[in-house]
Amino acid sequence: MTVQSKLPEAVRLPSDHPPIRNGRVGVLLMNLGTPEGTGYWPMRAYLKEFLSDRRVIETSRLVWWPILNLIILTKRPGPKGKDYASIWNKERNEGPLKTITRSQTEKLAERLTGFGEGRVVFDWAMRYGFPDVKSRLKALLDQGCDRILLVPLYPQYAAPTSATACDQAFRALMQMRWQPSVRVAPPYHDDPVYIAALAASMRASLAKLDFEPEVILCSFHGMPKEYLLKGDPYHCQCVKTWRLLREELGLPQERFRLTFQSRFGPDEWLQPYTDETVKALAQGGTKSLAIVAPGFSADCLETLEELDVENREIFMHNGGERFAYLPCLNDSDEGIRVLDAVVRRELMGWV
């Protein structure tokens, strides 16, 4: 006897009704993205998708399109490809951001085994590149997820990161006849679990060094100052993370400094700039320096190459002697503990 035949006649599905899978809850972790290879064409495709996003570049298309297509997409794929090649996961043939995000998802799923009586399904996607958001949303729906929690992996909210990841998910939802119920996890820049995890990770990394840094830079990804003036809360949330982390570590402000990295183009970006601060410290007599990047949930090009390679060279070439980059939370126990806390809180009422 089938399950259907046991049901009262009023609630039985017609014999020709299409199969329906429901009753499960999906959790989709979303990060920025990575190219599919380090050669010219994979890099060009990735940069084109990334830099065509109106959330990332708000300049008028009349001005931006010629610059992007005639200059940037001609000149930058080669050098950027070499940068990616220096940090590439050759075993998996992928960028480290993809490797780490996959591992974060797998470890989070393992940690939450049985949570919600086994009804919770975990997946991950990239805003730019693959696996893409649309296909992973469909995969969750195909597994019977009629409720989905979107988790942008950005502790601090910004329109060019958190918002554009959600935009991509919403675009996919617009094409669905039967949409799932959706929640978006908020930024967790001041979450006590996040701050405690950062402090614990930093203490462990510092304990492994054979020197004590005179100064530690707390470096966040930058953005044009204009975005702040338009109302983006990113700068304020970065400052709060830095302050709370400094208090948790018990460090004076002159020893734990806030900076912003990765500026691009001629416009003024959030200051102080990381590279200029590194150079000034070295030239001013600072001999030992460490950098941590709490705004990144996983190590990527901006941390492994820009901070640990480029800024190391700046420091050493200007009189510095000892330099260390302190890794992101990544898929460490501390990092998974943060994601666990965010997901459990945001799934309340669903499971």
Domain boundaries, the chain: 24-187+333-346, 192-326
Q: Output the CATH code of domain 24-187+333-346.
A: 3.40.50.1400
Q: Is 317 annotated as a binding residue?
A: no
Predicted confidence at residue 23, as pLDDT, reads 86
DSSP character at residue 273: B
Q: Is 25 helix (H, G, I), strand (E, B) or coil?
A: strand
Range with the lowest mean pLDDT among 106-120, 220-234, 282-296? Answer: 106-120
How much of the chain is helix, strand and coil, in % rounded to 5? Answer: 50, 15, 35
Q: CATH fold of 192-326, please?
A: Rossmann fold (3.40.50)
**H/E stretch holding 276:** helix 274-283
Stretch 230-246: mean pLDDT: 98
Q: Which residue has the tokens 């086994």?
A: 118
Per-residue pLDDT of 173-206, as tens digits, reads 999 999 999 999 999 999 999 999 999 999 999 9
* Spatial contact of 140 and 221, defined as CB atoms under 8 Å apart: no
Per-residue pLDDT of 54-85, as tens digits, reads 999 999 999 999 999 999 999 999 999 999 99
Predicted confidence at residue 265, as pLDDT, reads 82
Residue 17 has pLDDT above 90, yes or no: no
Model-level pTM?
0.92
Per-residue pLDDT band at 208 (split at 50, 70, 90): very high
**H/E stretch holding 170:** helix 164-174
Same fold, 24-187+333-346 and 192-326: yes
Q: Is 101 helix (H, G, I), strand (E, B) or coil?
A: helix
Mean pLDDT of the chain: 94
Per-residue pLDDT band at 270 (split at 50, 70, 90): very high
Q: Which tokens hold the place of 22?
A: 């429901």
Query: Angle 327-333-336 (CA atoms, 0-180°, nearest 5)?
Result: 95
Q: Is 346 annotated as a binding residue?
A: no
Predicted confidence at residue 16, as pLDDT, reads 67
